[in-house]
Amino acid sequence: MKKYNVAVVGAGAVGVEMLRVLRQRNFPVGKLKVLARSNRDITVDGQVYHVEPITPQSFDGMQIALFAGTEGEKGAAVTYSEEAVKRGCIVIDNGADFRMEKDVPLVVPEVNGKDVKQAKKGRGIIANPNCSTIQMVVALAPIHKMSKIKRVIVSTYQAASGAGSKAVDELFSQTKGVLEGQPARPEALSKRIAFNVFPHIGSFAENDFTSEEWKLILETQKIMNDKKILVSSTTVRVPVKVGHSESVYLETTKALDIKKVKAVLAKAPGIIVIDDLKTSSYPMPIDCEGKDEVFIGRIRKDPHNPKGIWLWVVADNLRKGAASNAVQIAEELVKQALV
C-alpha cells in the first residue's frame, strides 16, 4: 500500500485527536511530523510523539498537512499554509481562516467529498467546517436529496471542549467549587459554565447573531452549494465535556413520508439513527464520545406543517466535528489520487 507523509500542526486537544484518529482509522502514514510552537514530547494512548518547533522547512517532503486550528484567533495556517503548499503539501485546515474564501473548498466528505479536487485547481488548501455545521449538514444532506430544503432553524447545545481544553478544565474546577460553596469566576469562558447554560458562542455580529451562528448559516449554504437554504440559529454553551447536540427544524419543498425519511437517514453514510420511543432511545453526548459518526433521533413531523421535520443531532465535536472530518478529507484525497 502506498504511504503518505503527514504533518500534524498543533498539539492541543484537536491535534492530539488527529493523531489518535490517524492511527485508529489506519491512515497509510509514511513519515509523520508533529509540529507546534515548542520542542517537547507528548504521549497519546501510550504512544510517544516528538513535537518539533514549526518552521517553513518543516514541510519539506510532506504531502498532507493537517492544521488543528484555533478559534478566536488567527491559526497557524495563516502563517504556514502557503509555505506548506509551496513544498508540495495539500493543507487541510481546521481553523476558520479560509472557510468562506471562494478558492478554498469547504468539505464534509459524506456531503461534498468530490469538492476536494478543487484544492488542486486552487490554492492547495481545503477547509474543515465548524464543528456544529459538520454534524448538521451530514443530517440534512440525505433529506435534501429527497426534497430540497427551504428552511432550517437550529438551536445548538455545545460542549465546553468546543472552546478548548482550558474551558473543559474550567467546567470541572467550577463544578467542584460550586459544590463546595465557592464562587465561580469565569476565565476561559465568558460566563459561568457549571450548572448553567448561556446563548453566547463567538462574538456578537451582524443582526445581533454571534459569529458561531453565522458560521452555521453561511457554511451550510457553501457546503450544500445552495444559497436558497435559509438557516437561522441560536448557539448555546452547556456544561458537557464532549459532544455537541442540536435541535434542528427543517422545511422541505414537498411533504415527505417520515418513515421514508428515517429509512434514508439510517442508510446514509456516517449516520447512526437511534430513535425508539418505546425504550426512550435517542442520542446523547455520552453515547457519541470517541466516535466518528453523526447520531440522529427524535425524527418527527411538525404537527402543524406537513413539510416540516424535526431532528435531534449529536456528534463528538473533537472527532467528527474536527479531527475525524479532517482525516476523512485526507482519505478522500487518497481515494481520488490527488496526493
Question: Would you please indicate which residues are annotated as catalytic (active-site) residues?
Answer: 131, 244
Residue (of 325, 301, 310, 132) closest to 215 by Cα position: 132
Residue 251 gets the label, from left (phi > 0), alpha (psi -120 to 50) or beta, of: beta
User: How many angstroms separate the CA atoms of 51 and 328, rounded?
Assistant: 23
Backbone dihedral angles phi then psi of residue 292, each to the nearest 5 degrees: -95, -15
Whether residue 270 contacts residue 165, with contact meaning beta carbons closer than 8 Å, is answered with no
Q: Where is 120: in which H helix or E strand?
A: helix 118-121
Residue 322: which of 11, 65, 95 has the closest Cα? 95
Strand, helix or coil for residue 49: strand
Residue 9: CB atoms within 10 Å: 28
Q: What angle do CA 143, 148, 151 make, to 5 degrees?
A: 90
Nearest to 174 by CA among 200, 201, 198, 196: 196
C-beta of residue 119 within 8 angstroms of C-beta of residue 335: no
Reading phi first (left if > 0) and then psi (alpha if -120 to 50, else beta), residue 214 is in alpha
Strands 308-315 and 244-252: antiparallel
Q: Rounded to whole angstroms, how far apart are CA atoms 330 and 224?
A: 20
